[in-house]
A = this chain, B = another copy of it.
Amino acid sequence: MVQNKAFIYKSIPDGWPVPGKDLAVEDITFDEDGEPPKGGFTTKNFYAAYDPSQRGRMRDLSIKSYSPAMQPGKPVVSVSVIGEVLKSDTPKFKPGDTVILWSHYTESYSAVDESEVERTQIIHPKTVVPLTAYLGPLGMTGMTAYGSLHEIGQPKKGDMILVSAAAGAVGQMVGQIAVREGLHVIGSVGDDKKLDFITKELGFTSGFNYKTEKMSDAVKRLAPDGLDIYFDNVGGELLDVALANMKDFGKIIACGAISTYNNGSNTTPYGIKNYGSVVRKRLRYQGFIVLDPNIRQWQEERDANVSKWIADGSLKSIDHITDGMDNAIDGFLGMLKGENLGKSILKIADP
């Protein structure tokens, strides 16, 4: 047995997860001399993605949702982990393969469940594309952005789009894709460093810091004629402001509501008041998750375009790396607090 540090989900948080009580890093050990599980494989892991949707899975087991609740006492689940196959009992993989798997924040991992083998994919990293891009633009994050923008937003050249959490993993992708497609892109962010990042580094048309300018003033200032599309990562007050500023037949892409995820059981969530706009302006306000068929149908186009754009340097994949399993909790909470510029990733080991 060797050390196998893991980021453990201890108990269901009420509001913000509390380190030590709800989350911990512990050694769960790994048998490096053992056989791989029958029909499965073992891995050594390099990177694991953080994603706001993980907070939604830290819930009472009786509450249904699109992805199952996490099991207290087990390692935290990541939507995407990049690792290398150590031993394999399935013809699908051989030792040394680089794979992207739905797995846990662990230094090493044994995959046994048939569905886990099924959804694990070999990747063939290209020298022009960084390995972590498979957790970002070429992973679930990029698929989320590309698929929903096109499927629900139906963007046309010249459209005015507002993107919330614009410096985050999905926001930075949506904004860059929209800029490439000829839209006017406004980004909403929570500090001035992020405002510089989206406007100067990522090429957004404009942006505002919602902590220093009233949201409704900022949206009216930057989109005086209204919004064709609002890409909503946050919910809450900005959703209300967007509803009040949509043009007729506008689209609201409901991707997330991070402003509500860490409300405790005693918190009254912000109530949306401007939903009357949905009728008056004939809006379409639609949710999705990346696994839905109408979103996944964009995968081939996404793969082709985004690979090309990364390779030619016209789309940037910015990572926010937390280094080492010992810092896994900080990386997770930082992502929930919006401290990241770009995609939040835990680096577990050097590839």
B286 adjacent to A285 (CB under 8 Å): yes
Contacts of A284 in B (CB 8 A): 284-287
Please, which residue of chain B has its CB at the minimum distance from the CB of A282? B287
CB distance from A287 to the nearest CB of B (A): 4
For residue A292, CB closer than 8 A to chain B, the reply is yes
The stretch among A102-110, A117-125, A273-281 that forms the contact with chain B is: A273-281
- In Å, the complex CA distance between A239 and B273 comes to 12
Query: Which of B257, B269, B276 has a CB less than 8 Å from the CB of A279?
Result: B257
Query: Which of B65, B257, B271, B280 has a CB less than 8 Å from the CB of A271?
Result: B271
Give a binary string over A278-306; 1 marks a CB under 8 Å from any B CB, 0 the rest: 11111111111100100000000000000
CB distance from A59 to the nearest CB of B (A): 11
Given A235-B275, A257-B275, A56 contacting B285 (CB threshold 8 A): no
A278 adjacent to B272 (CB under 8 Å): no
For residue A248, CB closer than 8 A to chain B, the reply is yes
- In Å, the complex CA distance between A287 and B285 comes to 9
For residue A16, CB closer than 8 A to chain B, the reply is no
CB distance from A58 to the nearest CB of B (A): 14
Number of chain copies forming the complex: 2
Interface size class of A (residues with CB under 8 A): 20 to 34
- In Å, the complex CA distance between A59 and B72 comes to 54
A286 adjacent to B282 (CB under 8 Å): yes
Contacts of A275 in B (CB 8 A): 235, 239, 254, 257, 272, 275
By secondary structure, the A interface counts as loop
B273 adjacent to A269 (CB under 8 Å): yes
B280 adjacent to A66 (CB under 8 Å): yes
CB distance from A147 to the nearest CB of B (A): 12
CB distance from A250 to the nearest CB of B (A): 10
Contacts of A279 in B (CB 8 A): 254-257, 287-289
Contacts of A309 in B (CB 8 A): none
- In Å, the complex CA distance between A292 and B284 comes to 14
B272 adjacent to A283 (CB under 8 Å): no
A254 adjacent to B278 (CB under 8 Å): yes
CB distance from A30 to the nearest CB of B (A): 35
Please, which residue of chain B has its CB at the minimum distance from the CB of A268? B273
Given A270-B271, A271-B270, A273-B269, A285 contacting B289 (CB threshold 8 A): no
For residue A260, CB closer than 8 A to chain B, the reply is yes
Given A271-B271, A272-B275, A288 contacting B282 (CB threshold 8 A): yes
CB distance from A170 to the nearest CB of B (A): 12
Please, which residue of chain B has its CB at the minimum distance from the CB of A261? B276
B287 adjacent to A280 (CB under 8 Å): yes
Given A271-B270, A271-B271, A285 contacting B285 (CB threshold 8 A): yes
- In Å, the complex CA distance between A235 and B287 comes to 19
CB distance from A251 to the nearest CB of B (A): 10
CB distance from A80 to the nearest CB of B (A): 20
Contacts of A268 in B (CB 8 A): 273
Given A286-B283, A286-B284, A287-B281, A276 contacting B260 (CB threshold 8 A): yes
7 A-B pairs with CB atoms under 8 Å apart are A56-B280, A66-B248, A66-B281, A257-B276, A260-B276, A269-B276, A272-B273
**4 other contacts beyond A66-B281, A254-B275, A272-B275, with CB at 8 A cut-off?**
A65-B280, A270-B273, A278-B285, A278-B286
